[in-house]
């Protein structure tokens, strides 16, 4: 029955993709610029919410406590930055991609090439993680071997995107959002109704937090769940939050979603709608974590192992939960499950909630469908960036300006297919590393794209030299810091002020901005034509004047 629910949703997606297929470049790359803010926001929401947000984030908060809120604030706060300093200007610029903007604003094919490389590297690693995530979900929930699950995921991704490019992607993402938010909210809302009689876990969990703390004190568990800076130093959490916010704004696949609205006004409102849809999940995630922790502390810990709730055994079988009471596993062998003897994988928080709330199996199937929708919707957006970077930014803008529209669209469609398969192959290989790399992708985005585009709009004096050197410096410093702190190569770096590798983007970003400012002023200013372009970017309306 679970299969029916899951595959039923996929057939719906493929139907929508077919109904919205595209032949024209405008439709393929920017959905004809006809997506209203409400729907565009919804599509951004699905695009943004990846398998990680859906399955793992609540688990991360459960493990990290207050410090986990860095992810909540980081991944929502970024939309404010986007709305204020990026989206309206990108929309006014009006072309198709972020490398488009950088290439034109700095009148430089070198800048365009650097931007293309950044876009592909960031998007590809992110995409591999999504495909791997989809494989893991299908593997856990449907018992399929990873490689087969990944292959199915790749096929679905291709079927949802190839026919219509951005147009299909936008509409399938709206459908995927609905599936994912319903799948996410139902289990924890049901549990809240059971426990409190009302459907707002987001408000109820204040009480839950108090109960958690009471139990933790009783069982002598330290540190307390609500205590700040127990898993990260304050500096580390602060910098991580900042890097995630800026990185969010600097991710090419998110930037690309603001080219699809009809006007600059709509781009601004679209960011607001996006955050409402994203916020619905992000406000609920800490509630998930709290309710789950409560259940573990009150119903599982301290209980005899032979009398544990059913869901414990079920998820133990899948491998998301380990009981280490036996003496050879480090426990005390007394047949009772102490807190220290329980090992929980972070993915269990969301996946086990339907059973904890004693909901029928169809809800679990819905959660699986939700997680898969999240993974696929994100993979779609990322593949679009890669396909556009190669077919539009590289081929059309750099190699063959005479390429016909049909050629470009066919090339774009083929690239989606090719890279989906490549991502599948890489994902089937080495996974553990992937989650780390996604975190680094944020640092790279914050250190490379963000300063180049923001300075391009807000500072007329920034020229190609400043931007190119800024992007390269930002990238190199970030990579150097990550390698140095994480691997001690080529030079071992001890975390500055306690800032670990996930905060590397801060340094890259600062140096990128500095380079833009200083080097631009040491070299010739941009042409009058570019000054006019920047003026043009700064106001919404297309005026009918000749010099607009």
Partner 1 sequence: MVTADKNDLRRRVDEYHKKNVLYIIILLIIWFIVSLGGILAVKTLNEFTFLGFPFGYYLGSQISIIVFIIEIFVYAKLMDNLDKKYGFYED
Q: Which residues bind partner 1 (CB under 8 A)?
A: 66, 69-70, 72-73, 76-77, 79-81, 83-85, 88, 202-203, 205-210, 226, 228, 234, 237-238, 241-242, 245, 263-265, 268-269, 271-272, 275-276, 279, 282-283, 286, 458, 535, 538-541, 543, 545-547
Burial tier of 26 (Cβ tally within 10 Å: 0-12, 13-18, 19+): middle
Min dist CB 328 to partner 1, Å, is 39
Q: Are 305 and 331 in contact (CB under 8 A)?
A: no
The residue with tokens 């696929």 is 376
Q: Which is nearer to partner 1, 124 or 205 (CB)?
A: 205
For 235, half-sphere exposure in the C-beta direction (CA atoms, 13 angstrom radius) is 9
Long-range contacts of 430-438 (CB under 8 A, 24+ apart): 431/132, 431/136, 434/125, 434/128, 434/129, 434/132, 435/52, 435/56, 435/129, 437/125, 437/128, 437/129, 438/52, 438/125, 438/126, 438/129
Q: Which is nearer to partner 1, 30 or 389 (CB)?
A: 30
State residue 249 phi and psi, 5-degree precision.
-65, -25
Min dist CB 250 to partner 1, Å, is 16
Q: Are 434 and 176 in contact (CB under 8 A)?
A: no
Min dist CB 270 to partner 1, Å, is 9
d(CA 476, CA 202): 41
Q: Alpha carbon 78 to chain centroid distance?
A: 11
Min dist CB 446 to partner 1, Å, is 14
d(CA 481, CA 474): 11
Instruction: Please name every residue paired with 336 in a beta bridge, in sequence order, or none if there are none.
Output: 304
| Cβ-based neighbours of 407, under 8 Å, separated by 6 or more | none
Min dist CB 116 to partner 1, Å, is 29
Q: Which is nearer to partner 1, 286 or 470 (CB)?
A: 286
Q: Which is nearer to partner 1, 147 or 265 (CB)?
A: 265
Q: Which is nearer to partner 1, 522 or 543 (CB)?
A: 543
Min dist CB 475 to partner 1, Å, is 24
Q: Which is nearer to partner 1, 77 or 247 (CB)?
A: 77
Q: Which letter does DSSP use for residue 341 in this model?
A: G
Min dist CB 260 to partner 1, Å, is 16
Q: Which is nearer to partner 1, 204 or 445 (CB)?
A: 204
Q: Where are the alpha helices (DSSP H) in 300-351?
A: 310-318, 348-351
Tokens, residue 145: 């071997």
Min dist CB 226 to partner 1, Å, is 5
Min dist CB 69 to partner 1, Å, is 4
DSSP 363-393: HHHHHHHHHHHHHHHHHHHHHHHHHHIIIII
Q: Which is nearer to partner 1, 213 or 318 (CB)?
A: 213
Please report the sign of the dihedral spanned by the C-alpha atoms of residue 176, residue 181, residue 183, residue 184. Answer: positive
């Amino acid at each position: 029955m679970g299969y029916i629910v899951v595959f039923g949703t996929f057939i719906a997606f493929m139907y929508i993709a077919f109904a919205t297929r595209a032949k024209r470049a405008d439709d393929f790359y920017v959905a004809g610029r006809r997506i209203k803010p409400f729907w565009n926001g919804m599509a951004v929401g699905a695009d943004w919410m990846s398998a990680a947000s859906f399955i793992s984030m609540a688990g991360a908060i459960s493990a990290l406590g207050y410090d986990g809120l860095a992810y909540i604030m980081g991944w929502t706060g970024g939309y404010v930055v986007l709305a204020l300093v990026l989206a309206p200007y990108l929309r006014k610029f009006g072309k198709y991609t972020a490398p488009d903007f950088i290439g034109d604003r700095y009148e430089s094919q070198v800048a365009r090439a650097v931007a293309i490389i950044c876009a592909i590297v960031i998007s590809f690693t992110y995409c591999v993680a999504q495909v791997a995530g989809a494989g893991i979900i299908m593997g856990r929930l449907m018992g399929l071997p990873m490689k087969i699950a990944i292959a199915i995921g790749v096929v679905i991704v291709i079927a949802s995107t190839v026919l219509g490019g951005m147009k299909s992607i936008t509409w399938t993402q709206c459908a995927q959002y609905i599936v994912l938010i319903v799948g996410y909210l139902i289990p924890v809302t049901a549990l809240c109704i059971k426990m409190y009689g009302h459907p707002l876990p987001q408000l109820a969990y204040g009480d839950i937090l108090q109960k958690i703390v009471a139990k933790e004190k009783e069982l002598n568990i330290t540190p307390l769940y609500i205590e700040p800076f127990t898993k990260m130093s304050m500096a580390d959490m602060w910098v991580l939050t900042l890097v995630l916010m800026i990185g969010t704004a600097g991710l090419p696949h998110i930037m690309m979603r603001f080219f699809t609205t009809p006007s600059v006004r709509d781009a601004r409102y679209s960011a607001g709608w996006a955050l409402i849809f994203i916020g619905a999940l992000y406000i609920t995630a800490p509630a998930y974590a709290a309710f789950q922790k409560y259940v573990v502390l009150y119903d599982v810990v301290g209980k005899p192992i032979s009398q544990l709730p059913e869901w414990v055994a079920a998820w133990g079988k899948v491998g998301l939960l380990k009981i280490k009471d036996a003496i050879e596993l480090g426990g005390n062998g007394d047949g009772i499950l102490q807190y220290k003897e329980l090992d929980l994988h972070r993915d269990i928080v969301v996946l086990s909630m339907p059973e904890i709330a004693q909901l029928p199996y169809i809800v679990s199937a819905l959660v699986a469908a939700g997680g898969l929708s999240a993974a696929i919707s994100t993979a779609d957006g990322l593949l679009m960036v890669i396909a556009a970077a190669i077919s539009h930014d590289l081929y059309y803008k750099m190699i063959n300006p005479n390429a016909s529209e049909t050629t470009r669209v066919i090339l774009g469609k083929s690239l989606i297919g090719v890279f989906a398969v490549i991502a599948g192959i890489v994902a089937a290989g080495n996974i553990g590393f992937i989650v780390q790399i996604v975190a680094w992708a944020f640092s790279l985005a914050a250190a490379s794209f963000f300063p180049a585009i923001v300075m391009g709009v807000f500072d007329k004096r920034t020229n190609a030299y400043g931007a190119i050197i800024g992007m390269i410096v930002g990238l190199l410093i970030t990579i150097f810091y990550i390698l140095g702190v994480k691997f001690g190569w080529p030079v071992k770096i001890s975390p500055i002020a306690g800032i670990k590798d996930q905060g590397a983007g801060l340094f890259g970003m600062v140096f990128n901005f500095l380079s833009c400012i200083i080097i631009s002023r040491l070299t010739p200013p941009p042409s009058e034509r570019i000054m006019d372009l920047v003026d043009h970017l700064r106001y919404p309306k297309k005026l009918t004047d000749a010099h607009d």
